[in-house]
Amino acid sequence: MRLYYHICFVICRCAAIAAAIVLLCFCFSSCSGGKKYGDERTPEHQDALKRLDDSMFVKSDNVLKTMQLGMKQSHDSLEYYDYYLRYLRYSVSLDVPDTLKLDWNGPLSYLKRQQMTPRVRGMLGFLNNTKGSYYHKFHYNPHETITIYQKAYSYLFGSDMEYRLPDVCANLGDAYVAVNDMPHAAMWYRRALFLSDSLRLPQYMNVSLYMGLGRIYLNLGDFDEALHCYKITDRNLGLMPLNMQFYFLNNYGNYYYYAKDYKAALATFLRLKKLLEENGMDESYEMYLCKVNMADVYLNLGNTAEAYIYLDEAEDFFSRIDDATAMYYCHTIRIGLALRKGHVEEVRQVLDNEKMNTLIDFNLVNIRQRYLREYYVKTGNYKKAYENLLGSVIRNDSLKHNTINMRTSEIMMRYTQDTLQLHHKITLQEKDADIRKVRWSFYGVVLVAVMLVLLFLYLFTYMRKRRLQTQMQLMQLKLANARSRISPHFIFNVLNNSISKTDKQDAGELMALTKLIRANLKMSGKYYVSLKEELGFVDYYISVERSCIGDDFEFSIEAPAEDVLQNIMVPSMFIQILVENAIKHGLKRRAGHKSLKVCVTVDKSRCNITVTDNGAGFDIRHSDPNSTGTGLKVIRSSINVINRDNKRKIRLGIRNITGGDGKVAGCEVSLSLPLGLKDSYHSKY
């Protein structure tokens, strides 16, 4: 029998080698050329860049340190600039990037000297897109911004980053909105939608494109189409990255403002403000943009007190960063407030002190002109009021002309897309015919080799399966024997016998320990448990541990109602491990009063858990020599596994609490769990 297996194995190996040789020849002969060394990124480098791109808008120190470490440890210049380009993008995402640190010419000069491979083209497209975003965000020359975005668009074609084309098209659309060229803006957004469908990109990208189209329709005064686009976006808000959610809610609030539904506008801006606060962005550019919009809404609702509060905060911020467009809007609101209070002289002072040298958005100009007409009427300057009204009529006529142009552009865009699709299909058919001619002669050889391999593999697998079945039966018998010898029921029986022979106090302690072991086995046998079960187990664990901690010990749990806890699933033993670590490493080494607190809060998207003690604190440099560190290793390993499969991440933080004298007064461990996590091996919870 052994000789038979050996012969089958040798034959199969020979057949597999023959098939591999045929396939290698097939691959080499069918390829017209390969990529040169250095043109492709290694899988590890590709994964590192993907992680950076996914977490770019978190703005955490870890992201910045990862970029700097990547640049320092790069194996070649292309790898270095991969990280440096993302550093530029990260800097642009900050509210006030240091312009002295943003070197555009260095990477641009280096990349242009390289051979125009798909990788280099992609990097040049990425660089120009980032530079265009920088110019657009801080209101630099808008026409130069359009030129830079167009360069990015041309570089990305034929690159390894063609999936970024819709993003560049959307940016071009926004840039044309800034110069009040709505037909071109609509054309580029339509092209972005077409490319997104053609490249089969994720749905959230289409959602953000509908948001941009909604903004264009709003500028054109087509409120029905704008609302249609915004509602599509709002229904899919959770699919968008966090920064795009901020952008959308700001535009959605503007829609209701221009539609004169000021209550709905206020509700939307308050929704944006809450989202910014929940993500720790109280002092961000987006927050102050939200506040200046709220000031205008409160002005139109007649609540001038609130309007002044938000306007003063926003105006101070935009003045510090020298944002001319935002300051123009702040001055406009201040004019409106002065008119509401009858302070005509204050309006004149604002106008006399204002110096504008930048192109202002069409809608902001309309808001200013509306207040100025009221000012001219109140000061008796009816000629100016008439000229102002005439200018508004001319602008509205231009708006109608833009609408006609936009409809024409949409028709031409669809015609161009149909032509491109037809040309693309013809080209693919020609290439397919050439490939079939080259490869057809190899199919027969490959088919024979594969059939030969499958035949011998079937014979070999059939015999091996019979042998493995016998081995499996033997293994099951051995496992059953081992299981019976270490059965938990055997342990519980021994403990119960011991309990019956001990005094009442010791018996109670042993009984509590037995119940704790049973509960532990039940909990550890599950991957997820309800928050109610987890907290109940922690409470029971503390009751057993109290005798070891001491009399002067205070423990408390703050949590929502049990019906809320029952519906929230968490990884089992997480809270118990944190509580056990707090007792073992913090409280047992402390003399005097000891306190331990578990606090649970739940909002719409996350469950936040903190474990706080007044022990010796956490010091990684002087860890307990008797500790294996197993608890935190288990938690961190589990978090890494779960986070790989989820866009919303679990966050774990450890910090020491300092007292009034500056010394360590305890430790706080925070665990933030997004609701609705999933992993590759278990169902969603």
Q: What is the DSSP letter of 645?
A: T
Q: Which of 558, 576, 577, 572 is nearest to 627 (CA)?
A: 577
Tokens 């640049």 correspond to 71
Query: How far apart are the C-alpha atoms of 541 and 274, rounded to whole Å?
Result: 38
pTM exceeds 0.85 for this model: no
User: 580 and 549 in contact (C-beta within 8 Å)?
Assistant: no
> Which DSSP symbol is given to 606?
E
Q: Supply 473's token pair.
A: 């039966």
In the chain, count H helices and then E strands.
25, 7
**For tokens 């001990």, what's the residue?**
502
Q: Is the dihedral of CA 432, 435, 440, 442 positive or negative?
A: negative
pLDDT of residue 189: 80
What pLDDT shows up at residue 295?
93
Helix (H) or strand (E) holding 666: strand 664-674
Say how many C-beta atoms besides its own lie within 10 A of residue 625's C-beta. 5
φ, ψ at 625 (rounded to 5°):
-65, -25
How far does CA 131 lie from the centroid of its chain? 22
Among candidates 609, 612, 533, which has minimal Cα distance to 572?
Answer: 533
Q: How many residues does the chain have?
A: 685
C-beta of residue 125 within 8 angstroms of C-beta of residue 88? no
The pLDDT value recorded for residue 36 is 42
Contact 221, 213 (CB under 8 A): no
Structure letter (DSSP) for residue 569: E
The first and second tokens of residue 584, run together, are: 């073992």
Pair 220, 177: CB distance under 8 Å: no
> Is-contact 171 149, C-beta < 8 A?
yes
Q: Which of 118, 114, 126 is nearest to 151 (CA)?
A: 126
* DSSP designation for 95: S
Q: What is the side-by-side order of every strand in the sheet holding 651-658?
A: 553-558, 594-602, 606-613, 664-674, 651-658
Q: What integer pLDDT is reported at residue 427 of this predicted model?
A: 56
From residue 241, give the alpha-carbon distance in Å to each of 101, 183, 276, 544.
Answer: 27, 28, 13, 46
pLDDT of residue 152: 92
Q: How many CB atoms lie within 10 A of CB 497?
A: 9
Helices 77-93 and 105-112: crossing angle, nearest 10°? 150
Give strand pairing partners of 611: 598, 669
Contact indicator for 607, 650 with CB cutoff of 8 Å? no
Match 């023959």 to its residue by tokens: 18
- The alpha-helical segments, DSSP class H, found in 113-181 are 118-137, 142-156, 165-178
Asked whether 151 and 171 are in contact (CB, 8 A), the reply is no
The DSSP bridge partners found for residue 668 are 612, 655
The confidence score (pLDDT) of residue 454 equals: 87
pLDDT along the chain (685 residues), means of 10: 45 49 45 47 80 65 80 87 87 64 85 91 92 82 90 90 86 84 80 75 68 77 84 83 83 89 94 91 90 93 92 91 88 89 85 77 80 82 76 61 52 49 54 69 82 85 75 52 43 52 58 67 72 88 79 89 89 86 83 90 92 84 56 80 79 89 89 75 44
What pairs with residue 23 in β-bridges?
A: none
Nearest to 418 by CA among 194, 169, 157: 194
Distance from C-alpha of 494 to C-alpha of 488, rounded to nearest angstrom: 10
Q: How many CA atoms, within 13 angstroms, populate the side-chain half-sphere of residue 80?
A: 10
Taking a C-beta distance cutoff of 8 angstroms, is the pair 93, 59 a contact?
A: yes
User: What is 515-544 written as a DSSP string?
Assistant: HHHHHHHHHHT-SEEEHHHHHHHHHHHHHH
From residue 552, alpha-carbon distances to 483, 594, 598 in Å are: 43, 6, 18
HSE-up of residue 149 (Cα within 13 Å, Cβ side): 25
**In the 8-state DSSP scheme, what is residue 94?**
S
| pLDDT for 559 | 92
Tell me the CA distances in angstroms from 277 to 288, 290, 314, 669, one per residue in order. 12, 12, 16, 22
Distance (Å, whole) CA 436 – CA 334: 72
Q: What is the pLDDT of residue 248?
A: 86
| pLDDT number for residue 411 | 45
CA-CA distance, 615 to 553, in Å (whole number)? 11
Torsion angles phi and psi, residue 525, rounded to 5: -80, -10
